[in-house]
Amino acid sequence: MSSLVPRPGILDIAPYVGGDSAIPGLNRVIKLASNESALGASPRAIEAMREHAVSMFRYPDGGCRALRQALGDRFDLDPGRIVCGAGSDELLGLLARAYAGPGDETLYTRHGFLIYPIATRTVGATPVAVAERDLTCDVDALLAAVTPATRIVFLANPNNPTATYLPATEMRRLREGLPETVLLVIDAAYAEYIDAADYDCGFDLVDEYGTVVVTRTFSKIYGLGGARVGWAYCSEAVADVLNRLRMPFNVAAPSQAAATAALGDVEFVAKAQDHNRLWRSWTITELRDLGLCVRDSHCNFVLVQFPAEPGRDAVAADAYLKTRGVIARRVASYGLSDCLRITIGLETEMRTCVGALADFLRTDPAQIAASAR
């Protein structure tokens, strides 16, 4: 038996479990579990990565200068206040390391991204889940939960897995109500999918307050989940701190090239947005017509609630979908045990998924159970 003992609290961390990618016994599956882009990566991004493959023996630009300049040009931001990471997950972890520690607290919404409590516990701080209102962040509840120990508020906007969002006025009210000693981290991973006129990802708040950070990712609309590229827009002071903490070469050169190329392919991004808008609407309508409870979505997935009836619940639906080669995402770990999260995929994938759920709902539960044995 090993005598090594990790730092107190490490073993209290529940490991993050991503969406399944395989079904035993099936060679081909429809994966709708991880909110990946239905159209994949831009051809320009793929070509850029191929071109850089021949120079993989070279270390990458540790400062991601070309990518930060491209981001600055695209979003009219100061490149000096942009920090890149191996996915926005890395940056969220760095922010926790920088601004929280033993005896401190971080706040996040009850159904917020599970990385927030993981990043918090990793640095010995205490994560505090705050109740939501109708599966949406409750600003008043967040402000009421602030204590002298609060150091960070993590907020996904739009939120995964609820697909809800806060309008810009509420985000501003939140920042104005927080103490100046509390950092507001806005995780805008799904910003490219939202069409609401009253939404803003938060760049203006970063410019007005030194205590706001916005994180973004190339894993969603840009289709580069496997390349691991994310970025943060923040004050110069926060950027300096993050650059001191991050590893020297944290974003691979081919990934930097792919992200820069993907950012420039605005036509492909628009195509991906149009596809998501069309099939998100279609999926919501079709599932509601089946009698299922489906919330409006502002992301590239839908949250589907199933009845609390044996053989008709989310567990049974998930199992049935797998028999049809479809992988959805159970979200019981988010406190949503009666729901499945379903990514918007290609047309054929969505038609297969909806058709399978229609068969599930009209088949006798006893017959489904018997066929599963």
SS3 state of residue 145: helix
Which run of H or of E encompasses 280?
Answer: helix 266-289
Confidence check: pLDDT of 369 > 80? no
Q: Residues 196-208: pLDDT tens digits?
A: 999 999 999 999 9
For residue 162, what pLDDT is reported?
98
pLDDT mean across residues, the chain: 96
Mean pLDDT of 16-29: 89
Confidence of residue 14 (pLDDT cuts 50, 70, 90): confident
What percent of the chain shows pLDDT beyond 70?
98
Report how far apart, in Å, the C-alpha atoms of 294 and of each of 96, 131, 181, 297, 372 are: 34, 21, 39, 9, 27
CATH architecture, range 10-31+267-372 = Alpha-Beta Complex (3.90)
Report how far apart, in Å, the C-alpha atoms of 307 and of each of 276, 318, 322, 335, 357 are: 27, 13, 19, 15, 13
For residue 79, what pLDDT is reported?
99
Eight-state DSSP code of residue 36 = -
For residue 1, what pLDDT is reported?
58
| Domain definitions of the chain by residue range | 10-31+267-372, 43-265
For residue 206, what pLDDT is reported?
99
For residue 31, what pLDDT is reported?
98
CA distance 136 to 209: 24
CA distance 329 to 32: 7
Q: Residues 252-277: pLDDT tens digits?
A: 999 999 999 999 999 999 999 999 99
Confidence check: pLDDT of 372 > 60? no
For residue 19, what pLDDT is reported?
83
**7-16, 64-73, 210-219, 230-239: lowest mean pLDDT where?**
7-16
For residue 370, what pLDDT is reported?
61
ω into residue 161 within 30 of 0, thus cis? yes
For residue 358, what pLDDT is reported?
98
Q: Residues 275-329: pLDDT tens digits?
A: 999 999 999 999 999 999 999 999 999 999 999 998 999 999 999 999 999 999 9
Name the pTM for this structure: 0.95
Q: How many residues does the chain have?
A: 373
For residue 365, what pLDDT is reported?
78
Backbone angles phi, psi at 337, to 5 degrees: -65, -15
Q: What dotted CATH number matches 43-265?
A: 3.40.640.10
Strand partners, 302: 342
